[in-house]
Structure 1
Amino acid sequence: MYQRQEIFNIIELFTSQKLINFYTKIFDSLDLSILPDRIPSKYGPNGYSRHALFRAFIVMKCEKFGKITDLKDFLENNLIIAQLCGFNILKPLPSYSVFQRFIKNLSNSYLKEIMKNQVNILKELGFIDNNFISVDATPVKANTKFNNPKCFANNKFSKNNPPSSDKDCKLGVHTANNSMNVQVSEDKPNNSKKKYEFYWGYKNHVICDAISGLPIAEFTTTADVNEISNFTEILSDTNEWFPLKGSYIIADKGYDSKQNHDFIRNTLKGHAFIALNKRGRKPKDLTSTGNVICDAGLAMHKDGKQYFDSYIKQKFCCPFRTSKDDSLCPCNHEKFFNGKKNRGCVKYISIGTDYRSSINRDSIFFKKIYSLRTESERYNSRWKNLNTEQAYVKNINSVANLNTIGHICLLTIAIAAIKSGCVDKYKSLSGLKGQLKLSYIKIFKHQFHQGDSLPFFVSFISI
């Protein structure tokens, strides 16, 4: 009786039952067979289990910790969770440097394979398919004082003044306006113009299932890499193991280019739903018949076409180009008095003939499909809620690994929710924690191999 009372005075044992149930189910839904558990060493011990270290970082993301120190404190104060991860709690837990070296030196290819396995499981369960695919990128700010709004350093966003704390990060820009059509009006300059935000850091590019809102593939780059340049690469790599043939590919105007449209159409045999990026071009005023309106407010006449490989150049001329009357131009434009036989202004409109130009972005069909892109925004919000928007490590490999672990965490939550019968919680981290119910003692017995002795406190509690 005295021994039992002493055990109940150990505060580390009183971890929430719901939390224990949650992590037991999460780890049961996570296959780490692709990751070697130990790395043989010629000169000393093999060190801690890499499976245990990986599960610890899953705990870090599920608890929304940004720093490794917070993870270490949590495990020290919740030894049951550390036991579930695979650590021997009768010995000291890994130090901060062990966790730091693990996340820095671990090859991201292992994590990519673990993520592929989780995606394939959800595909077999019928929760992920290739019908509607959404692509998006989200910024990840580096761990540097230059990203602090209260930092008043000179030229803190200059390429010639990179931060010394993280030598891998690059200068990037994030726009707060990703709408399909942005019209700049002189009457409302403050509301219509795009708002830019410069930052030092990285980008995480994610392919999502636009129906279920679950990730399929991802990769991390520095912040200076634009979306257009790596769009075909991530789709091509994903298509090798997750077929995208015939898919509807949805993306915002940051991915708009002729090359990306042709890749979707010709290589993937799919359909592109990418918003048009006008890239600062001012739209010309046109009549209902498609004629250009000149500076004087007159409809210009069509005057021939020039044909090129992927577009047609339509020429428009002044309606009074052959007139000799100098008073016909209402605005007395300087080009009307050019002294030539054909007087007046000349303007051109380029009419594309490629796949990108043939898409009717004003149709109801396009707008209905494009509206599914908001699922990417919702997923990015859930991913950022794991405290991934701000990096607290200082190299690209560590940032990439933590980003991938965040995606694996959300995929594993979905698998655990589906297999536990809590399908409505497959996108809710907090909701799933309150649903799972398992035996307290059964959890410990599950973690020990046959023939191993249970920890002394479990033996007493199970009396």
Structure 2
Amino acid sequence: MIPASSHFDQSTITALLHHDPLVQRYRTFFSFLDWSVVEEWQQRRSSRGRPVEQPISASLKIFLLRIQEGLIYTQQLRKFLLEHPLLMIDFGFDLVLDSHAPYGFDAEKTLPSRQWIGEKLRALDRSLLQGLLASTVTALVQEIPGLGETVAFNVKHIYAWVKENNPRVFTEKGHDKHHRPTGDPDCRLGVKRSTNQEQPDGSTKEKKEVLWGYGSGVAAATTPTYGDVVLAEYTLPFNEGDVTYFEPLYRQTVAALGIFPTNITADAAYDAWYVYQKAALHGGIAAIPLNAHTTHASSRATDGVPLCEKGLRMVPTFQFAHTNGYQAQRFRCPLLHPQPDGQTCEHPQFVKGKGCVKDLNWELGGLQRVLLDRTTPLYRALANQRTSCERINSQAKELGIERPKVRNAQSVKNLNTLTYIVINVRALNRAKSINRRLLQMN
């Protein structure tokens, strides 16, 4: 709705909207989003008889503006909008008309309170935000050939807005994992980094950097021409291990891309057989270094068959469902199975008459994990793509993701999704510009 006032008629306000550089910048920014996702959500909500307050598109736009402009506090966002009332018209707010006001409406009464905006951020529908993020991935797939063939996974730490994260403030339960900070009871204590420091006597002492907060998991892809994009995101309290993020991120990635990624890359925190399984099932590899904390793997032949301590191929007997969720293959001593051959061995198990027994993960992913050659050019090229997550994390940090000024998990999750939407909109703008230039060259 275009209002009119004693100062400007509707045609003048329309002209102001058309020429205002800030309004035009955000019209361009929002044009990259698929607003049909929002319209369909709004229709479903209305069909259930739920009341509609301010248009959800207007709320989404102010929260995306908050990220884009780096307005970390809600009060800053509200002040910015009051200083730019033309944005409130263009964003589609239900205006409180006042013909005596310069732009024909009372901006202070139109704009919801700081408390309302904070509650609206917390109450945003997660499925709506995820759908909007997925729509940016769909648009990027149309612009970038081969996007998502290789997907990188990583987790970014987020500091909760609590006094326990302030090193200058002493808190009696600052490192008690059972403690619940009053500032944000949803956050959890976790280890950000663990290092060994050398002591004066030459010994080493482990030093852990801990924080109260959350982890923002991302699945990202990159190409040399178009740069980095976000394919999926998932937020958990910071006490969860990195590999916990993998399954939900992978499911979102497949849904957004419409295809299964061929290759996967991540750091050693994702060194789990089921991560390799996803790549192995689709003819690819998971470029992941072996975790130094895992137990030493048994010696294997090139086909995965284990070798006993004498270097002999062990004999497969039967397969069974392992309690850890994979199909296992049992191998027995080659000197005793399928029947004793008269040779002897000094191994204690042989002396007992049983011989060595090994139950090994016989899934494609389990085999790839132990047989993968991590020195090949292909492995190194894929492993290098892990840096796409680091660059995405760097962009997200610049947009304020690391220290959100909200005090509950739902608001943190929503701000994270909005941040990645902004990153993808920028990537889509970049991709379209590159493609236009390429077409002009032909």
1:257 maps onto 2:272 in alignment: yes
User: Is the contact made by 1:141 and 1:202 (CA closer than 8 Å) also made in structure 2?
Assistant: yes
1:4-403 matched pairs, under 5 angstroms: 18-35=21-38, 36=41, 46-87=52-93, 88=95, 90-91=105-106, 92=109, 93-126=111-144, 129-175=147-193, 196-211=208-223, 212-245=227-260, 247-266=262-281, 268-279=282-293, 302=310, 309=328, 354-403=367-416
Q: C-alpha separation between the residues in 1 aligned to 2:402 and 2:114? A: 22
Question: What is the deviation of 1:418?
Answer: 4.2
**Structure 1's 261 and 225: CA in aligned 2 closer, same or farther, altered over 3 A?**
same
Q: C-alpha separation between the residues in 2 aligned to 1:136 and 1:189? A: 37
Cα displacement string for residues 380-414 of structure 1 (whole angstroms, at most 9, x for unaligned residues): 10011100111211111111111001111111222
Aligned residues: 365
Gaps of 5+ in 2: 1-5, 9-15, 96-102, 299-308, 317-327, 334-344, 346-350, 352-357, 438-442
Q: CA RMSD in A?
A: 4.3
Cα displacement string for residues 95-135 of structure 1 (whole angstroms, at most 9, x for unaligned residues): 11221121111111100111111110111112661212111
Question: What is the deviation of 1:361?
Answer: 1.6
Larger radius of gyration: 1
Query: Per the alignment, in what secondary structure is the counterpart of residue 161 of structure 2?
Result: coil
**Structure 1's 166 and 187: CA in aligned 2 closer, same or farther, altered over 3 A?**
closer
Q: C-alpha separation between the residues in 2 aligned to 1:186 and 1:350? A: 39
User: Is the contact made by 2:219 and 2:232 (CA closer than 8 Å) also made in structure 1?
Assistant: yes
**Equivalent AA in structure 1 for residue 121 of structure 2:** I
Question: What is the deviation of 1:375?
Answer: 1.4
Q: C-alpha separation between the residues in 1 aligned to 2:360 and 2:200? A: 30
Query: Per the alignment, in what secondary structure is the counterpart of residue 356 of structure 1?
Result: helix
User: Is the contact made by 2:144 and 2:431 (CA closer than 8 Å) also made in structure 1?
Assistant: no
Identity value in percent: 24
Question: What is the deviation of 1:240?
Answer: 3.5
User: Is the contact made by 1:130 and 1:243 (CA closer than 8 Å) also made in structure 2?
Assistant: no
Partner of 1:438: none
1:412 maps onto 2:425 in alignment: yes
Normalising by structure 2, we get a TM-score of 0.70
**Equivalent AA in structure 2 for residue 230 of structure 1:** Y
Partner of 2:336: none
User: Is the contact made by 1:26 and 1:412 (CA closer than 8 Å) also made in structure 2?
Assistant: yes
Q: C-alpha separation between the residues in 2 aligned to 1:145 and 1:313? A: 58
**Equivalent AA in structure 2 for residue 397 of structure 1:** Q
User: Is the contact made by 2:231 and 2:256 (CA closer than 8 Å) also made in structure 1?
Assistant: no
Gaps of 5+ in 1: 6-12, 178-183, 285-300, 315-321, 323-341, 343-348, 425-463
**Equivalent AA in structure 1 for residue 292 of structure 2:** K
Larger CA deviation: 111-120 vs 84-93: 84-93
Q: C-alpha separation between the residues in 2 aligned to 1:247 and 1:41? A: 40
User: Is the contact made by 2:234 and 2:245 (CA closer than 8 Å) also made in structure 1?
Assistant: no
Q: C-alpha separation between the residues in 2 aligned to 1:138 and 1:164? A: 23
Normalising by structure 1, we get a TM-score of 0.67
Cα displacement string for residues 228-259 of structure 1 (whole angstroms, at most 9, x for unaligned residues): 23313321343234244351101011111123
Query: Per the alignment, in what secondary structure is the counterpart of residue 165 of structure 1?
Result: coil
Cα displacement string for residues 198-220 of structure 1 (whole angstroms, at most 9, x for unaligned residues): 11111111111132310011111
